[in-house]
């Protein structure tokens, strides 16, 4: 009987990784060229009937390929949308099948590297797939497990993503610490407070899990920061919150929220939306703003807009100001975005994230001053506004920068070895 081959799989809202353990050392598998991370994106090419993944999917879309772009699909787990179908060309596909395609692509890439079939997996999951709804949360995990079973994983288990990141931190800890793991990803913000014993995952015969003091999370992440920034600085150029001719009436906001939300953009490319917007244009005080929105949707460039907003957010981590070009909507159209705009757009979300950390401290029975290390992972911890605000809650802690996109995957691989080996 062949020995079971196992892995840790971090399926992220924005980026994904897959980790293996070899000779006691965890490493991430190259999933796209030499890169160990792959953007969680697919592009269904209607011209060659090929499915593109990751950076290739984004590049093919930006090159103007005829097809369907999909990203941030993890966010629909636990929502009614996961049980629906979506049109891909002339074919109706269940959303579960789309997620399965992406996860199967990752699995096959790793199996090619291994030259062996992977049968066991520990998958990462946020503290809450869905806030304040335990039934929907459990359903989301079960859906993801069923998809993993369907693509060939015979044994599927889960670990909280910040706990997995703690496993990675444990490898470099040189003394006992009270650690706050801060994992701000594309879709969620998750936190674990634990006592870390270096190189002792089974200290005194106990599972390291027994050293966890608190877990907490909230469904706010990098894609929410993108959405809020877009609503503040971009969507008003296309009629968001603009007045209608009838006194006291404003343009309906749903179209703009969907256009600023990765997983909802494709829902706007239908005849019903087009007809509604044409009608609303006739009632608008500034119809030229609606013309821009209609033109953008006719071009199916919603994802290009979202990518540009995401890039502006990243640029503002290092610069005070940037110009976002909307020339693909209207020649010469731009909007100036400052770091202050970014801070204003995410201030409410940051407050809610800080409140979640405060809840974790209460759950752990300690104060922020008791934390000795803040370990950061997740792409959104790269934003100085977020990082500085959250680490200030642990004023005596040393801040350790983990692998923003790889710590969870590495920790999941270590957890898979612990459980399956």
pLDDT per position as a tens digit, 212-227: 999 999 999 999 999 9
CA distance 207 to 328: 55
Q: What is the largest CA-CA distance in the chain?
A: 76
3-state helix, strand, coil in the chain (%, to 5): 45, 25, 30
Q: Is residue 168 part of a domain?
A: no
Residue 1 lies in a domain: no
Average pLDDT value for residue range 309-317: 95
Per-residue model confidence (pLDDT) at position 389: 96
The verdict on residue 166 lying in a domain is no
- Do 211 and 240 share a domain, yes or no? no
pLDDT of residue 89: 85
Query: Residue 365: which CATH number?
Result: 3.30.420.40
Residues 62 and 210 in one domain: no
Based on the fold, state whether residues 56 and 80 are members of the same structural domain: yes
Tell me the two tokens of residue 215.
């877990």
User: pLDDT at residue 2 above 60?
Assistant: no
Q: What is the mean pLDDT of residues 249-260?
A: 97
Within a domain: 62: yes
| Alpha-carbon gap, residue 275 to 290, rounded angstroms | 12
Distance, CA of 56 to CA of 246 (rounded, Å): 47
Task: Tell whether 198 and 229 lie within a shared domain.
Answer: no
pLDDT tens string 156-174? 999 999 999 999 999 899 8
Q: What is the pLDDT of residue 199?
A: 60
Boundary (domain end) residue, out of 299, 324, 344: 344
210 has pLDDT over 80 = no
pLDDT of 207 over the 80 cut: no
307, 294 in Cβ contact below 8 A? Answer: no
Whether this prediction's pTM lies above 0.85 is answered by yes
Same domain, yes or no, for 217 and 228?
no
Q: CA–CA separation, 223 vs 74, rounded Å? A: 12
Residue 207 and residue 124 share a domain: no
Buried b (16+ CB within 10 A) or exposed e, 274-311: eeebeebbeebeeeebbbbbbebbeebbbbbbbbbbbe
pLDDT of 4-31, one tens digit each?
799 999 999 999 999 999 888 899 999 9
pLDDT surpassing 50 at residue 335: yes
What are the start-end ranges of the H helices in 284-338? 287-299, 302-315
Residue 253 lies in a domain: yes
CB 154 within 8 A of CB 95: no
CA nearest to 154, candidates 5, 2, 1? 5
Extract the tokens encoding 366.
């300690």
Please tell me whether residues 184 and 157 are part of one structural domain.
no
Q: What is the pLDDT of residues 177-187, one digit of tens each?
A: 999 999 999 99
Domain count of the chain? 3
Q: Do both 56 and 26 map to the same domain? A: yes
Q: Calculate the alpha carbon distances from 207 to 195, 196, 211 in Å.
A: 12, 12, 8
Question: Do residues 349 and 225 make contact, with C-beta atoms less than 8 angstroms apart?
Answer: yes
pLDDT of residue 257: 98
**Segment 38-57, tens digit of pLDDT:** 999 999 999 989 999 999 99
Domain extent, residue 372, equals 175-221+353-402
- Same domain flag for 179 and 194: yes
Cα atoms in the Cβ-side hemisphere of radius 13 Å centred on 419: 21
Q: Same structural domain for residues 242 and 212?
A: no
Band of pLDDT at residue 317, cut at 50, 70 and 90 = confident
In order, the DSSP letters of 33-93 are TTBS-EESEEEEETTT--EEEHHHHHHHHHTT-SEEEEE-GGGGTTSGGGGSEEEETTEEE
User: Of 344, 366, 387, which marks where a domain is finished?
Assistant: 344
Q: Which residues pair with 373 in a beta bridge?
A: 179, 398
Task: Check: CB of residue 357 under 8 Å from CB of residue 393.
Answer: yes
Q: Is position 170 within any domain?
A: no
Asked if 58 contacts 39 with a C-beta cutoff of 8 angstroms, the reply is yes
Quote the CA–CA distance of 362 and 368 in Å, as a whole number.
10
Q: Going by C-beta distance under 8 Å and a sequence separation of 6 or more, which residues neighbour residue 5? A: 114, 116, 117, 118, 119, 120
CB atoms < 10 A from the CB of 344, how many? 14
**For residue 167, is it within any domain?**
no
Whether 204 shows a pLDDT value over 80: the answer reads no
Query: How many Å apart are CA 183 and CA 12, to the nearest integer?
Result: 12
Q: Does 301 map to a domain?
A: yes
Instruction: Report the C-alpha gap between 399 and 379 in whole angstroms.
Output: 16
244 with 316, same domain: the answer is yes
pLDDT of residue 354: 98
Q: Is 1 exposed, middle or buried (0-12, 13-18, 19+ CB in 10 A)?
A: exposed
Count CA atoms within 13 Å of residue 272 on its CB side: 4
- The last residue of one of the domains, among 313, 344, 375, is 344
Check whether residue 210 and residue 359 sit in a common domain.
yes
The model's confidence at residue 300, banded by pLDDT at 50, 70 and 90, is very high
pLDDT for 23 equals 81
What pLDDT was estimated at residue 373?
97
């Amino acid at each position: 009987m062949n020995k079971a081959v196992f892995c840790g799989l971090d399926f992220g809202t924005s980026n994904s990784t897959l980790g293996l353990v070899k000779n006691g050392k965890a490493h991430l598998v190259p999933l796209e060229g030499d890169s160990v991370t792959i953007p969680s994106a697919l592009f269904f090419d209607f011209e060659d009937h090929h499915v593109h993944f990751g950076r290739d999917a984004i590049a093919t879309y930006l090159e103007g390929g005829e097809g369907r772009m999909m990203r941030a699909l993890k966010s629909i787990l636990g929502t009614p949308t996961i049980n629906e179908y979506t049109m891909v060309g002339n074919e109706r596909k269940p959303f579960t099948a789309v997620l399965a395609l992406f996860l199967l692509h990752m699995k096959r890439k790793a199996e090619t590297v291994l030259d062996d079939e992977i049968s066991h997996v520990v998958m990462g999951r946020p503290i809450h797939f869905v806030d304040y709804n335990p039934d929907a949360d459990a359903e989301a995990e079960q859906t993801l497990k069923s998809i993993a079973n369907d693509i060939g994983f015979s044994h599927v288990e889960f670990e909280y993503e910040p706990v997995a990141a703690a496993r990675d931190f444990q490898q470099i800890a040189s003394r006992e610490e009270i650690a706050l793991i801060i994992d701000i990803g594309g879709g969620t913000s998750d936190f674990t407070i634990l006592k870390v014993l270096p190189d002792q995952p089974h200290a005194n015969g106990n599972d390291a899990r027994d050293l966890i003091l608190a877990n907490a999370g909230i469904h706010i992440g990098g894609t929410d920061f993108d959405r809020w920034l877009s609503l503040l600085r971009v969507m008003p150029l296309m009629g968001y919150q603009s007045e209608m001719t009838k006194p006291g009436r404003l343009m309906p906001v749903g179209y703009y929220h969907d256009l600023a939300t990765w997983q909802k953009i494709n829902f706007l490319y239908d005849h019903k939306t087009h007809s509604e917007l044409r009608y609303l244009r006739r009632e608008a005080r500034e119809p030229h703003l609606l013309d821009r929105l209609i033109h953008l949707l006719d071009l199916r460039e919603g994802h290009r807009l979202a990518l540009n907003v995401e890039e502006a957010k990243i640029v503002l981590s290092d610069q005070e100001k940037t110009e976002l070009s909307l020339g693909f909507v209207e020649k010469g159209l731009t909007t100036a975005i400052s770091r202050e705009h970014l801070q204003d757009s995410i201030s409410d979300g940051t407050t809610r994230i800080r409140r979640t950390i405060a809840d974790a401290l209460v759950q752990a029975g300690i104060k922020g001053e008791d934390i000795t290390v803040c370990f950061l992972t997740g792409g959104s911890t790269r934003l100085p506004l977020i990082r500085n605000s959250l680490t200030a809650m642990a004023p005596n802690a040393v801040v350790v920068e983990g692998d923003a996109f790889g710590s969870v995957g590495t920790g999941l691989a270590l957890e898979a070895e612990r459980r399956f080996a």
